[in-house]
Amino acid sequence: MPGLASETVGVWADSGSRDESELTAGSTHFLEHMLFKGTRARTAAQIARTFDRIGGDSNAVTAKEFTCYYARCLVADLGSAVDVLWDMVLDPLLDPGEFERERGVILEELAMAADDPQDVLYEAFDELIYPGHPLGRPIGATKGRIRALDHATLLAHYRGAYTADRLVFVAAGGAEHAEVVERVTTAIAQLRPALLAPPGPAEDQTRPRSARSRPAFSAGVRSIRRDTEQQGLLYGVDGVSAVSEDRFAFSVLQSLLGGGMSSRLFQSVREEHGLAYSVHCSSSQHADCGDFALYAGCAPESAQRVLELCDAEFRRLAEEAPDAEEVEEVAAQLAASTVLGLESTATRMNRLASAELYGIALRSPEEIVARVRAVSAQDVRALAEALYAGPKALATVGPRELTLPA
């Protein structure tokens, strides 16, 4: 990205919570915490001071199919950021004492999530639609699982997940490509080569991507009673995967139905009926599956009516093709947001990493815009029809119990 003075860099591990076994559940997120706790060359405090000194934004994220450690810095400080990230990933101490201290921190994090009705709602929805499957488990696991996780299991999980064939380095920003390659090569060369070798069979406690199984979408209702001011609901169906050819039509469908203030859900539920402040579409897309849901938060006494209004808008889109003008307006909005989003180095880094991890073609902004603009009204209706025809699931958190629309 010529002319920029900043760079966003990340080390991505092709391993997420869906790759855990029952034994290792929670260890992917636990490792994310532990990799900031010091290496042979740097203490945890030195890692933190380095990122603070270069004025960078550094953090990590654990998802269901990957883990990412990233930093945003000035191009002039690229070397420091790259050195620290690779040191954290390839040479962590994973000290037993730090492990026990961090266990308490993670238990507090899980307790905080349990107090958030929206977090509870989304986890309940995943557990409902993917029962007994790793995708249905919370990314951070449960408090019981974290209390039971031992240090040896964490070490074995690390050795299986953080190998050369599962690591990807991604960078976007003002630095020259040759400089980035040189910095990465130098950083890796200084670390222990043994860590780049695949683990032996007895050590590997993680599941490779090839061992992932596609879950079947399960219908039903999951109600969690909470004495809250609002009733939260997620009403969903089987969706599309991250690599599906339908993903461009899906983006138009999702935006048209519940993507903004002009969307059908917003106009119906909020503007016309005044029954909710927040109403929109939500989706998760994985390598081999996905889900699509309608979210609303409203007064408990209005929740069933809001659910029926959401269902009616979804059904209407499945039965009647939208006007070509409406689709063109949504496509124009998506095209603009795509181009504007790609001005962010973080967005570019995420896009590069997704293409590499999911094995999909890296399209230019012009190609993406063209694919979105090529979506027709009939494409949207056909996809909506296929999605709406499938089994439906409802998760809700609040004082009331709800039922699926007839």
pLDDT tens-digit readout, 39-63: 999 999 999 999 999 887 899 999 9
Q: Is the per-residue pLDDT at 25 higher than 50?
A: yes
**Can you give the pTM of this predicted structure?**
0.93
Q: How far is CA 253 from the centre of its chain?
A: 20
* Residue pLDDT, tens place only, 115-132: 999 999 999 999 999 999
* Residue pLDDT, tens place only, 186-209: 988 877 554 555 545 445 456 667
* Residue pLDDT, tens place only, 126-164: 999 999 999 999 999 999 999 999 999 999 999 989 988
Name residue, tokens 């307790």. 111
Name residue, tokens 């920003």. 173
- Class of the CATH-defined domain 6-196: alpha beta
pLDDT of residue 3: 86
- Per domain, the residue ranges of the chain are 6-196, 220-398
At the topology level of CATH, where does 220-398 sit? Cytochrome Bc1 Complex; Chain A, domain 1 (3.30.830)
pLDDT of residue 207: 63
Residue 393's φ and ψ, nearest 5 degrees, are: -130, 145
Find, among 282, 337, 340, 286, the residue nearest to 314 by Cα. 282
Q: No. of H helices and E strands in the chain? A: 15, 9
Q: Can you tell me the distance from the alpha carbon of 81 to that of 169, in angstroms, rounded to the nearest whole number?
A: 12
Find, among 29, 109, 86, 21, the residue nearest to 62 by Cα. 29
Are 6-196 and 220-398 the same fold in CATH?
Answer: yes
Q: Is the per-residue pLDDT at 232 higher than 50?
A: yes
Q: Is the per-residue pLDDT at 100 higher than 80?
A: yes
Average pLDDT for 317-326: 97
List all residues 6 or more positions away from 8 whose beta carbon is below 8 Å from its beta carbon.
70, 71, 72, 171, 172, 173, 345, 346, 348, 349
The overall average pLDDT reported for the chain is: 94
Name residue, tokens 């995943």. 126
pLDDT of residue 194: 45
Average pLDDT for 268-286: 98
Positive or negative, the Cα torsion across 66, 72, 75, 81? negative
Average pLDDT for 256-269: 97
Q: Is the per-residue pLDDT at 354 higher than 60?
A: yes
SS3 state at 320:
coil
Find, among 264, 296, 292, the residue nearest to 278 by Cα. 296
Residues catalogued as catalytic: 32
Average pLDDT for 218-245: 97
Helix axis angle for 324-341 and 377-388, nearest 10°, is: 90
